[in-house]
Amino acid sequence: MACSSALFSHISFHTNPINSPKPNKPNRKIVTVAAIPPLSTAADVSTITAQFDGATIAVIGGSSLAALAAVLSVADPEKRRKLQAEEVGGGDKEVVREYFNGNGFQRWKKIYGDTDEVNKVQLDIRIGHAKTVENTMKMLTDEGSLQGVTVCDAGCGTGSLSIPLSKEGAFVFASDISAAMVAEAEKQAREELSTGKDELSPAPVMPKFVVKDLESLDGKYDTVVCLDVLIHYPQSKADAMIAHLASLAENRLILSFAPKTFYYDLLKRVGELFPGPSKATRAYLHAEADVERALQKVGWRIRKRGLITTQFYFAKLIEAVPS
Ligand SMILES: C[S@@+](CC[C@H](N)C(=O)[O-])C[C@H]1O[C@@H](n2cnc3c(N)ncnc32)[C@H](O)[C@@H]1O
């Protein structure tokens, strides 16, 4: 493993992620492993080397500087992103939409699900992400019951947060840019929310699922949550997204993002040199100070903050309120 676990030990939020079950699926089987951040910047040596094909290794083995430069230029994340954007005729958002309706959907459905068909990196992401969901639920329920509280889950993915929110009695509006993700979330919600906690309790109210990018969301919600979505956008776009999400929230905005620190940035750059076949979109880290500034500009302040890390997954989780 390339990452020293000591580098990930400054945890202010998490307990032991390896043994934590996924909150909305209590009987989920968890296997011990290692992981990566939301849109992976793999630093696991075996993962990285496995992605080099024989030809590449032969070129480097011949120590030709020109050939090495060529290899690195093909792996250049900025070039790769431009190529992807050209392929789908747009910018970051179109690349993201295309990805989460195709390969990305298959990849993340597995990671967020409970299939055993995940590699050790994916399993670790599953564990880290489950901690993010669990800590978000804790942040929300610490302030009182969620019964009847309106919550917007922006970029809901396969419903990992929307489903436990509904179980707690919240009225959930869940949206995602990907139609495939929304269909999967709806399917899982129907399976998990069809009955109440016991024979006497009524079944929870189903979330309202909609295919929509978060920029087109409107209305007002007590709470807006947006987990592991900002990673797909540079800070210039994230500023506008944060401002828009804050404008939809009356009382609380909860965000998670991959924090930009010297170490994580380095890790990400190394990972980007070795893009795996399904790690098709660019991942952006965000400095906590930049996110805080974006919130302050629209009159919000951070009230709670936490960091969730496993060996490869890392997410900063913040709760903001109007100043
Ligand atoms: C890494 S997944 C996280 C899913 C979910 N929030 C969770 O934590 O389980 C990122 C999700 O964000 C969605 N997404 C990305 N950009 C978006 C946008 N501009 N508007 C809405 N959803 C978006 C993707 O389709 C994907 O489902």
Q: Write out pLDDT tens, residues 210-221.
A: 999 999 999 999
Residue ID of nearest Cα to ligand 1 atom 1: 228
Beta-sheet pairing, 150-154 with 171-176: parallel
Largest CA distance in the chain: 72
Phi, psi of 221 (to 5 degrees): -130, 150
With residue 268 as reference, give the H or E element that holds it.
helix 262-272
CATH topology (fold) of 21-51+78-322: Rossmann fold (3.40.50)
Q: State in Å: Cα 96 to ligand 1 middle.
A: 9
Mean residue pLDDT across the chain? 77
Average pLDDT, integer, range 44-52: 28
Q: State in Å: Cα 244 to ligand 1 middle.
A: 16
Average pLDDT, integer, range 253-257: 98
The rounded distance, in Å, linking the Cα atoms of 87 and 309 is 34
Q: 302 Cβ partners below 8 Å, 6+ apart?
A: 292, 295, 318, 319, 320
The rounded distance, in Å, linking the Cα atoms of 263 and 142 is 32
Per-residue b or e along 203-214, where b marks 16 or more CB atoms closer than 10 Å to that residue's CB: ebebbebeebbb
The rounded distance, in Å, linking the Cα atoms of 62 and 72 is 15
As for ligand 1, residues whose beta carbon falls within 6 Å of it are: 38, 93, 96, 100, 108, 112, 155-157, 160-161, 176-178, 181, 213-214, 227-229, 232
Average pLDDT, integer, range 284-291: 96
Proportion of the chain above pLDDT 70, given as a percent = 69
Which residue among 25, 97, 99, 229 is best mutated to probe the pocket of ligand 1, counting the most ligand atoms within 8 A of its Cβ?
229
240 CB neighbour count, 10 Å cutoff? 12
Average pLDDT, integer, range 226-239: 95
- Asked if residue 16 has pLDDT above 50, the reply is no
Q: Indicate the domain borders of the chain.
A: 21-51+78-322
- Asked if residue 80 has pLDDT above 70, the reply is no
Residue 82 is predicted with a pLDDT of 61
Confidence of residue 282 (pLDDT cuts 50, 70, 90): confident
Residue 33 is predicted with a pLDDT of 29
